[in-house]
Amino acid sequence: MTNFKINDYTLIEIKSNQEKEYIDYGVRLVGAPLEWKETMGEGIRVGIIDTGICTTHPDLSGRIKDGINFTDEDVSSFCDYCGHGTHVAGIICAEKNGSGVVGVAPKADLYVAKAFDKSGKTNYIAIEKSLLWLAEKRVDVINMSFSSSFANNRYKELIRAIKNYGITMICAAGNEGEKSSIGYPASFNETIAVSAVDINKNIADFNSVGSAAEISAAGINIFSTYLDNGYAVLSGTSMATPIITGAVAILQAKGLMRYGRKLTPDEIRLLLNIYTEDLSGTGRDNRYGYGLFSFGRVLTSDYVSENLEEKIFKKRKDLTSKMAELVVAMLLN
């Protein structure tokens, strides 16, 4: 049976608590705070296939709507014993509650499929069961921060079926470096592959490359939720992927609020791709994809520094938001 593993991420630092509410630079770089007055992802269902989640974490417990365990590890619980899934979940939707960290879509609902054990490994059957369970839960977007070289017809058809069901799948490009190609599920045509950049928008040296590269987000030194109700700084395309997943939750909430329906995976893909800053200067390439996604163009790294105040965001919001609204209107009319 083919084995899968969580992408090789790097644990930089662990912190037991975070009393002052903190918005990580990755959340700022994607421009999420610009959207929060209108929506924080309310009513959108986000699926995560990962190592589980710390169910007692104060920044996450209120967002968890359901979970299931497809591993042989403590089968009655979908608790996280690795930390990867909890970190991913916090990036997506850690609550804005006055302390801890804040995710991209702090009011989105989480549906957690624990497919990976504490060693970060699993098999295809657990992945398949996770995807089918999340489809049954009618999630709007699925975060998949893992990869392998495995891609048989059964896997391909399952991914195609999930997309045809109306679910957007956001996948990590992988952390094997420029000598390695992007694996699966990120390389499937039906999924969206995410690359990792740093605060200065430079591609991570660990980023896998290939023609499947589609979109970029911050993935180096990302601060988020972790085990034992704590916090940690991690690096990897696994961290960039949930930033885009959270952004999709916001886009879906905006579509529902403004146009009375959710967007299709193809509509989401188009919005993500036109909403990017071309970082290579050559259009789509094998590293950045189309470029950095953001709800509001970020001009300098200082723009996302820890001391940034919300009023600066208000002044720097540019016309990209209005442009995207016009595109959505054209797509939906």
Active-site hit among 57, 59, 80, 84: 84
> What's the pLDDT at 275?
87
Contact yes or no for 293/201 (Cβ under 8 A): no
The list of the chain residues with pLDDT below 70 reads 1-2, 297-333
Q: Quick one: DSSP state of residue 148?
A: B
Kindly report, residue by residue over 108-160, the tens digit of the pLDDT: 999 999 999 999 999 999 999 999 999 999 999 999 999 888 899 999 999 99
Q: What is the CATH number of the domain that holds 151?
A: 3.40.50.200
Q: Would residue 50 show up in a list of annotated catalytic residues for this protein? A: yes
Q: Which residues contact 80 (CB under 8 A, 6 or more apart)?
A: 50, 51, 52, 53, 54, 86, 114, 227
Q: Give me the pLDDT at residue 180, please.
A: 80
Provide the residue range defining the domain that includes 42. 3-332
57 belongs to the catalytic site = no
Quick one: pLDDT at residue 226? 98
Coil, helix or strand for 292?
A: strand
Tell me whether residue 84 is one of the annotated catalytic residues.
Answer: yes
Q: Residue 317's pLDDT is what?
A: 38
Helices 320-332 & 265-274 angle (0-180, nearest 10): 150
Q: What is the pLDDT of residue 37?
A: 95
| Tokens matching residue 168 | 């957007």
Choice among 80, 238, 285, 294 that is catalytic: 238
Q: Among residues 24, 50, 109, 198, which one is catalytic?
A: 50
Q: How far apart are CA 315 and CA 300, in angstroms?
A: 14
Look at the chain and report how many structural domains it folds into: 1
pTM: 0.89
197 and 217 Cβ atoms separated by less than 8 Å: yes
Residue 110's CB: how many other CB atoms inside 10 A?
Answer: 23
Q: What is the pLDDT of residue 204?
A: 96
3-state helix, strand, coil in the chain (%, to 5): 30, 25, 45
pLDDT number for residue 299: 52
